[in-house]
Amino acid sequence: MVGGTPELRAFYEQRLDWHPCADDAGTENDDFRCTTLRVPLDYANPTGRTIDLAMAMLPASEKDERIGALVTNPGGPGASGVQWLFGAADSFAGTLHARFDVVAFDPRGVGASSPVRCLDDAARDARNTADGPAADSDRAAYKDRLDREFAAGCRQKSGDLLPFIGTRDTARDMDVLRGALGQAKLDYLGLSYGTYLGTRYLEQFPDRAGRIVLDGAVDPAQDRLSASVEQAVGFDIALSQFAKDCTHYADCPLGTDPDKAPAAAADFLDGLRDAPLPTHTPGRQLTANLGWSGTIGMLYGDATTWQPLRDAFTAAIRDHDGTDLLSFADQFNGRAEDGRYDNSADAFEAISCADSPGDTPSAERVQQALEELGEEAPLYSRGTTAAELARQDCALWASRANEPLHPVKAPPGSPVLVIGNVGDPATPLAAAKRLAEQLGNAVRISLLRGGHTAFGSGSSCIDRAVATYLIHGTVSAELVQKGCV
């Protein structure tokens, strides 16, 4: 059960004191158990400073049939695993809940686990609201100023944490968690960025990996520019599909021509730069930045999110009311009704930069990316310039990964289960295909519909496949061949 050096033994052997979870008002919830896991801030100095990671557990409902613990991560980076589990418990209903203690945690730097802070609420509001300069020649300088302000804020507010929040350290935390849970092997379900965390665990602890599910795969060998282009294409396709579907309804605010509706949607959102809309929230308007954020946030979902998004477009275009799109933007940005932000956006940027090797794309690669965007993501990438693509978002980050991007191999034993959605805009299916090929010892299932990630999205086929794999270690050859709906 114990791993690492003798100095780490106390961390692996710590006793987890589980107790009923309490909400913000202090009311206990007997459905879940909570605790903290103590880990070293710096694994190179395990006798130095420690931090506590917030954890939650949905205990197995059938104690006599319990297999063990299933550790999960919902993505991000920056998403709170604890809060996600509270809202996603129904996704595990049935066999998984019966056989596993489902365990989630807030990774270091996230949520209630020594959260990274970089911008205060007012600065984050200003950043999310502002549309920036309209002139292409001014946009790179504007982005550079924002990056400098963010990096300076992170150093000032969380400088002691920044060298230790990368995904490799979080993977080491997961191994300590495995030991503290009393398991020889880690069974794991990772979604979106959680797949990247899973591959980093496989790389560092191949002999301790049990049954691993990677859903909504991130390609660990893909550079940031290529990933951003691929994602832009994914969201461009999703926006077009939403807009074309809208024209099937008599009240569609984007018109009746499916070929013109996608451009109409983008024109409306871009037009908010010059004509922001009022909202029901005093002092707040719907700007282009917020309108695009709210739209993109809803496009993470599958077609079931199109009606509320269509209603929001109707209210905005016909009634000049930006309230609903503003609400979607706030959800996407982690803003509560009282104006306070969670730390997800700060953590996302900080962890992403900590993981970035900082490679600068060549001028040829930048031009190629610009052409790809113009051809395949003409709506989502309007106005994008070569200067913006050539910029290193993390150029000012002092604590970055010192290793080149590289593929990851899976250890022998149970094959890794990789899942990808055919229409996933955020982590397109191509990344799942590449990851499965890299791992070698992997099987891949496709969900034949849109939306970001497959587990818990309403596909009983996917949910059964995940449960069967985690419990029995098998995957249906027919599902691998034909996919799920």
- Alpha carbon 71 to chain centroid, angstroms: 16
**Calpha distance 164→51 (Å, rounded):** 11
Choose the catalytic residue: 452, 457, 459, 463. Answer: 452
Assess whether 219 carries a catalytic annotation. no
Geometric angle at alpha carbon 444, from 441 and 448, rounded to 5°: 175
Q: Which amino acid is at 257?
A: D
304 backbone dihedrals φ, ψ, rounded to 5°: -65, -15
**Calpha distance 429→415 (Å, rounded):** 19
Choose the catalytic residue: 106, 321, 355, 424. Answer: 424
Assess whether 381 carries a catalytic annotation. no
> Hey, how many other C-beta atoms are within 10 angstroms of the C-beta on 157?
17
Would you say the C-alpha torsion 388, 117, 32, 197 has a positive or negative sign? positive
**Calpha distance 25→47 (Å, rounded):** 36
Element at 423 (helix H, strand E): strand 416-423
Q: Which amino acid is at 442?
A: A
**Calpha distance 98→291 (Å, rounded):** 42
Q: At what angle do helices 323-333 and 288-299 cross, to 10 degrees?
A: 70
Give the residue ranges of DSSP H helices in 320-362: 323-333, 344-355
Assess whether 52 carries a catalytic annotation. no
The helix/strand/coil state of 289 is helix
Choose the catalytic residue: 192, 226, 293, 381. Answer: 192
> Which residues, in sequence order, are CB contacts of 103 under 8 Å at separation 6+?
55, 56, 57, 69, 70, 71, 72, 177, 181
Decide the pairing of beta strands 442-450 and 416-423: parallel
Go through 174-200 and write b for each residue having 16 or more CB atoms within 10 A of its CB, e for each that does not: bbbbbbbbebebbbbbbbbbbbbbbbb
Catalytic residue IDs: 192, 424, 452
